[in-house]
Chain A
Amino acid sequence: MIPTRQILWNIDAAGVIALYALLVVPIAFVTYGLARRVRMWRLGKPENRFDRLGSRIWGALRLSIYHGRIVRKPNYAAGLMHAAIFGGFVTLFIGTLIVLFQADITVPYFDYRFYHGDFYLGYKLAMNLAGLLLILGVLFAFVRRYHDRPVWLANSPDDVVLLAFLLVLVVQGFTLQALRLAVTQDPWGPWSFVSYPMALALRGLPVGWLRGIHAVNWWVHFLTTYVFLSYLVYSKMIHVFTSLANVTFRRLKPLGELEPIPNLEEAESFGIGKLADFTWAQLMNADACMHCGRCLQYCPTFNTGKVLRPRDLVLEVAGFMADSGGIFSGELGQEETPGRFRWGRGPDRALIPDVVSPEELWECTTCAACMQQCPVAIEHVPMIVGMRRNLVLEQGEFPPELVNTFNNLERFSSPYAFPPRERDKWTDKLEQPVPRVAEQAAAGQEVEVLFFVGCLGSFDARNQRTTLALARILQTAGINFAILGKDETCCGDPARRIGNDYLAQMLAQQTVETLNEASFKKIVTACPHCFNALLNEYPQIGGNYEVIHHSQLISQLLAEGRLKLDPNSAVARGKVTYHDPCYLGRYNGVFEEPRDVVEALPGADLVEMRRNRKTSFCCGGGGGRLFMEETTGSRINQARVREAIDTGAEVLCAACPFCMTMFEDGIRGVGAEETFQVRDMAELVAASLATPVAAQAGPAAEGEE
């Protein structure tokens, strides 16, 4: 006796006809919902997301099959839950197709049967395992939502209805199998290890009753499947399509690269002020969100009780899109549509301020924790900066404290009101002179390293100490370096992130012109914001340079033995914790070199904060926030300082002038000035140097030449 079963057992002709004829309903519903969305996405501006198709498809496969962006720190449990639901669902779906493949193709056309023997037994085992996996995943999801709900997870009716659908579908499947086995009493029944014991329990019932209830359950099961499929694209389950599409057409450019406004001089509108100002990919982004809330986990605004929640901002845009002619067009869009956030307030709204509030937009620190965490590669920061651009350049609306920043950037090419001639005044405090690039060029001297000091390092008193320390380190190591001096201008990062792209482009262009006239091999900077702009954004305007952060250079110098630290130095003895600056770590992947430097400090014991590396927590100063007031919720910098203090460290090692400023303020804010200090790694290294600068620099510098 060969193990197999009759396909569509106990189903009469009416059932078979209904099964196939009604297929038109879910197909039409799914296609309609998708077409409606594609129609909306097409309203967006064009953007080429069809390059490097191989990488794109590979990324989508990694997301869907490998679950790489889903099962990861700190969401291993939730990720595995999703993997169980996904794996169970897909396996059962494929299993159903396999059965139909034999019934409708191989048998009628080739008289070929494969659904028997060992294959059949393995299939039964796999299907039961998949069903069990799906049930466990769904039950875990219920527990997570109703018992241990993380603060960033929001429950909507849609979430519950979908989980209920999945659970009931699998229970129906097991029930059908048990009823059939109870009647047919297949000897290979135990392979269906979930249904078989139930079949044994059901065997005592009359066969007629079993057959009858089987038929009813079969009809209900297939109709449930069709209702579920029809509902799919009108619920957050749309993500089975949109997340794949979103990951396939994701940004492949560096995370830290913002697109400039093209043809700024001739542009008629600026940034994103209405739906049609988004690119099609950004509109698709909005529809890809499945409300998981991972973007909130490390979001500095969410975690300090501010208005901005990246998830909600994206869903607000999605809801507005739906109202404006997406799924629920016209009169239907006027009604409330539950299941997602803030839908159904109608299409007659302005994107800003009715859908997205300016307050939300200005609160963003552009730390990109949301983008880093999002499993489906939604790009929140470019959307936010795009809307800021509209506020600044078109509506002329921005926080009043930015007026001075903009004025200073325009007048002095710096956010601070210091004339350019004072940019290199800090060099007066050095024991040895620092050459200027222009002077070196005039003297026919080559420059190996251009030290791009940055505005904070040049003008801000606290950050000048970092600049001096780095200059001393370079001199000690005998590096042939020079600075631009008064020719240096702001890199444009604050202006760009604030949304004043006009100013940003002007400053960047000015800097690129200066740099392209200079002769050097590489650029070193102590500011991750300058680092990111020079490295990732200047190539847009013809500025291609080798750029390194000072933590990378110091790490290299220590490793090569070009810097010797005094083993008796008491500068950083004991526990030291390191804060990953967003624009260095998350944006540019520099995590280990700064830690190598801290670990090299004599007597230093590096302890990590709970949130570190890719899952670091912003200082609150990025995205131009350094120049704005923080009036809502608790203070971001104080939250991070408290986390640093909680490690038991007495020194917080920074690697960014923005972070330095925020943390100095944060330490005062929490009243820890006496017991806790923030120091840049250059300061710690310079203070730990074994040999005085003057003694080392002379011969080494000569040797370099």
Chain B
Amino acid sequence: MAAAGGAWSWLTADRRRGWALFGALTAIGVALIVIGEFTGWDWLRLIGIALISLGGFGLGVLAGFSPAGLRGVLGRLRAVRLPLAVVVALVIGLPAVVALLGALDGAAGRALALLGVAIAVLLAAAALFATVMALRALRLAWGGVEQGADSSTEKVGEGP
């Protein structure tokens, strides 16, 4: 415990040390994954995952406990959040929808395939619905709601 505390103090005394250390761990981890993949040494993968996880954890904690946090990174993300969110919403939903609509090809098949078509259509509809709802929510969040307003709870009188 004391050793961990000491190591943490050493890292946070000069945060550049921490960034360098955890950044290096991540980079080594990625390198091991790459080597493992091309050499067939699958055992390297676990070590790579461990280093990448440790690196990510350390970077997150280091940034999280710094006074300024990730002000710059989050600021840049924030500046592009609306287009980013719309693109993400579309990208994550559409490939599945396209694949599922491909199942319509089986509509002329046997009964179980017809069931498959029905399931695919339902899932595609659900994914489309979810995407539309998410886009609507994003529009409301960044376009249609007055700052700080509680968008959808109305005052009620006598209770339920």
Contacts and interface: CB of A to CB of B under 8 A. Distances in A.
**Chain A complexes with chain B:** yes
Interface of A: 13, 16-17, 20-21, 23-36, 38-39, 103-105, 107-109, 135, 138-139, 142, 150-152, 154-161, 163-165, 167-168, 171-172, 174-175, 178-179, 194, 196-205, 209, 213-214, 216-217, 220, 223-224, 227, 297, 302-305, 312, 325, 327-332, 335-336, 338-339, 341-345, 633-634, 639
Interface in B61-78: 61, 63-65, 67-71, 74-75, 78
B134 A109 contact: no
B109 A328 contact: no
B99 A213 contact: yes
Interface in B107-151: 107, 109-110, 112-120, 123-124, 126-127, 129-131, 133-134, 136-138, 140-142, 145, 147-148, 150-151
Given A20-B30, A21-B33, A220-B91, 7 more contacts: A151-B160, A156-B151, A160-B133, A167-B129, A197-B113, A201-B104, A201-B105
A23 B157 contact: no
A223 B158 CA distance: 47
Chain B's interface size range is: 35 or more
A524 B133 CA distance: 59
Contact of B88 (A35, A194, A227, A339): A227
Interface string B76-93: 001000000000110111
Given A20-B52, A197-B116, A331 B75 contact: yes
Contact of A171 (B69, B91, B126): B126
Interface string B32-45: 01100110001101
Given A154-B150, A204-B106, A217 B96 contact: yes
Given A17-B37, A200-B110, A23 B123 contact: no
A648 to B, nearest CB: 20
Interface of B: 26, 29-30, 33-34, 37-38, 42-43, 45-46, 48-49, 52-53, 55-57, 59-61, 63-65, 67-71, 74-75, 78, 88-89, 91-93, 95-96, 98-100, 102-107, 109-110, 112-120, 123-124, 126-127, 129-131, 133-134, 136-138, 140-142, 145, 147-148, 150-153, 155-160
Contact of B56 (A24, A161, A174): A24
Q: Which of B68, B98, B153, B155 has the most CB of A within 10 A?
A: B153
A226 to B, nearest CB: 11
B153 A154 contact: yes
Contacts of B93: 164, 168
B109 A201 contact: yes
26 contacts: A21-B52, A27-B52, A31-B56, A31-B61, A105-B46, A108-B42, A108-B43, A151-B159, A154-B150, A154-B152, A160-B134, A161-B134, A164-B131, A168-B92, A171-B130, A172-B127, A175-B123, A178-B99, A200-B116, A201-B117, A203-B113, A205-B102, A209-B102, A214-B99, A305-B158, A634-B158
B116 to A, nearest CB: 3
Contacts of B104: 201
Contact of B92 (A204, A220, A302, A633): A220
A128 to B, nearest CB: 11
Contacts of A342: 148, 150
B102 A31 contact: no
B100 to A, nearest CB: 6
Nearest to B152: A155
A332 B74 contact: yes
A203 B145 CA distance: 47
Contacts of A161: 134, 137-138
B147 A336 contact: yes
Contacts of B60: 27-35
B49 A23 contact: yes
A322 to B, nearest CB: 11
B147 A344 contact: yes
A233 B119 CA distance: 33
Contacts of B89: 164
B31 to A, nearest CB: 9
A27 B56 contact: yes
A331 B71 contact: yes
Contacts of B124: 171
A20 B31 CA distance: 11
A200 B106 contact: yes
A202 B38 contact: no
Contacts of B118: 197
Contacts of A39: 64-65
B71 A332 contact: yes
A154 B92 CA distance: 26
B106 A202 contact: yes
A21 B33 CA distance: 7
A336 B148 CA distance: 7
A158 B150 CA distance: 13
A623 to B, nearest CB: 19
B61 to A, nearest CB: 5
Contacts of A303: 156, 158-160
Contact of B137 (A33, A104, A150, A160): A160
Nearest to B110: A200
B120 A201 contact: yes
Nearest to B25: A24
Contacts of B112: 196-197, 200
A156 B60 CA distance: 27
A28 B18 CA distance: 14
Given A35-B65, A105-B46, A198-B120, A639 B159 contact: yes
Contacts of A109: 43, 46
B105 A167 contact: no
Contacts of A336: 147-148
A293 to B, nearest CB: 8
B71 A330 contact: yes
Contacts of A25: 56
Nearest to A34: B64
A508 to B, nearest CB: 35
Contacts of A202: 99, 102-103, 105-106, 116, 120
B57 A31 contact: yes
Contact of A163 (B127, B130, B157): B130
A13 B38 contact: yes
A639 B158 CA distance: 7
B92 A227 contact: yes
Nearest to A173: B96
A325 B65 CA distance: 10
Contacts of B45: 20, 103-104, 108
B91 A160 contact: no
